[in-house]
């Protein structure tokens, strides 16, 4: 599932291309996504794009917002005259609109924003901007790296937890934005065994892990996210973090920290990759 770097990558693209554009029409191809597609959307101008954890919010100039969780396979693809030289990946996106296009936001200046979702787990809600923070998903979201995740809080939340440290990192109510890929890689970078009880980490290890979480997310963002299933940026293009994974998806391969071999196990049902040689 897309994590903080992937959703931030989408956010940066949408911010660049959508802000200042007006929604001139809506074509709803999946009726389950919106009840009345024209209500509050038609004629409104985009004034800001925000990200909360793995959620996206598009603010409009009429005090309404579009809140979206792309879940496993949601994609936003912008098409406009200014980006003709930067075409989307046909392999990941298809020819637009594709059979997985659920909503087409028609914009002024002949631009379109396509919302695709293969698996249909994504949700889209149109609501008053002032009510966005009251959506359960946003309300329950823990502090995020690069925003409000402070070391003191991180330390406290680890000390209080009986879960495996990896599961804790992925708990969106405790820490927003970190999922399976970056939890695996942060633990490898910090040389911490993902199975360890969160509360067993020593102060030095907590600091190391805190820094590692920020470092791997920063790398993820630098490479435009990881395209695992069908993640694409706002222009429909793949991210390259996949080529820079530290542990995630590298079972049987050499660890970059030492001469050990990355092993795959399961923690709380999720594929977990770590190096038994250097992660203690």
Candidate residues 258, 265, 271, 280; the one interacting with Zn ion per rule CB under 5 A? 258
Regarding 261 and contact with Zn ion (CB under 5 A), the answer is: no
Known catalytic residue: 2?
yes
- Residue 168 CA to residue 158 CA, distance in Å, equals 8
Candidate residues 70, 226, 255, 267; the one interacting with Zn ion per rule CB under 5 A? 255
Give min distance, CB of 256 to Zn ion, in A.
Answer: 7
Q: Which stretch binds Zn ion (CB under 5 A): 65-73, 167-175, 239-247, 268-276?
A: 268-276
The interface mask with Zn ion, positions 210-249, x = CB under 5 A, is ----------------------------------------
Q: Which of 5, 6, 8, 54 is catalytic?
A: 54
- According to DSSP, residue 78 is labeled E
Nearer to Zn ion, 251 or 260 (CB): 260
Give min distance, CB of 255 to Zn ion, in A.
Answer: 3
Q: Which of 2, 88, 145, 194 is catalytic?
A: 2
Q: Long-range contacts for 139-142 (Cβ within 8 Å, ≥24 apart)?
A: 140/172, 140/173, 141/52, 141/53, 141/55, 141/172, 141/173, 141/176, 142/53, 142/171, 142/172, 142/173, 142/174, 142/175, 142/176
Regarding 257 and contact with Zn ion (CB under 5 A), the answer is: yes
Regarding 277 and contact with Zn ion (CB under 5 A), the answer is: yes
Nearer to Zn ion, 141 or 181 (CB): 181
Considering only residues 111 to 130 of the shown chain, the ones binding Zn ion according to CB under 5 A are none
Regarding 26 and contact with Zn ion (CB under 5 A), the answer is: no
Q: Long-range contacts for 60-66 (Cβ within 8 Å, ≥24 apart)?
A: 60/23, 60/129, 63/128, 63/129, 63/130, 64/40, 64/126, 64/127, 64/128, 64/129, 65/126, 65/127, 65/128, 65/129, 65/132, 66/41, 66/124, 66/125, 66/126
Nearest to 76 by CA among 46, 114, 123: 114
Footprint of Zn ion on this chain (CB under 5 A)? 255, 257-258, 260, 275, 277-278
Mind telling me the catalytic residues?
2-3, 54, 270
């Amino acid at each position: 599932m897309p994590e903080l770097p992937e959703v931030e990558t989408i956010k940066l693209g949408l911010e660049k291309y959508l802000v200042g554009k007006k929604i001139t029409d809506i074509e709803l191809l999946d009726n389950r996504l919106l009840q009345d597609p024209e209500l509050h959307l038609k004629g409104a101008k985009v004034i800001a794009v925000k990200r909360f954890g793995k959620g996206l919010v598009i603010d409009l100039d009429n005090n309404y917002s579009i809140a979206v969780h792309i879940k496993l396979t949601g994609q936003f693809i912008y098409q406009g005259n200014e980006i003709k030289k930067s075409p989307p990946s046909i392999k990941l996106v298809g020819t637009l609109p594709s059979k997985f296009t659920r909503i087409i936001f028609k914009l002024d200046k002949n631009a379109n924003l396509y919302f695709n979702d293969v698996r249909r787990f994504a949700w889209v809600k149109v609501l008053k901007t002032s009510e966005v923070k009251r959506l359960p998903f946003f309300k329950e979201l823990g502090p995020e790296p690069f925003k409000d995740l402070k070391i003191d809080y991180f330390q406290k939340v680890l000390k209080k937890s009986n879960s495996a440290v990896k599961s804790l990192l992925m708990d969106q109510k405790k820490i927003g934005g970190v999922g399976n890929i970056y939890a695996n890689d942060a633990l490898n970078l910090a040389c911490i065994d993902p199975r360890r009880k969160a509360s067993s980490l020593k102060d030095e290890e907590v600091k190391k892990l805190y820094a590692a979480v920020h470092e791997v997310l920063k790398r993820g963002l630098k490479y435009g996210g990881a395209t695992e299933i069908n993640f694409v940026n706002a222009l429909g293009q793949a991210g390259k973090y996949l080529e820079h994974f530290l542990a995630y998806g590298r079972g049987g391969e050499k660890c970059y920290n030492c001469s050990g071999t990355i092993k795959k196990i399961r923690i709380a049902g999720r594929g977990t990759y770590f190096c038994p040689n250097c992660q203690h």
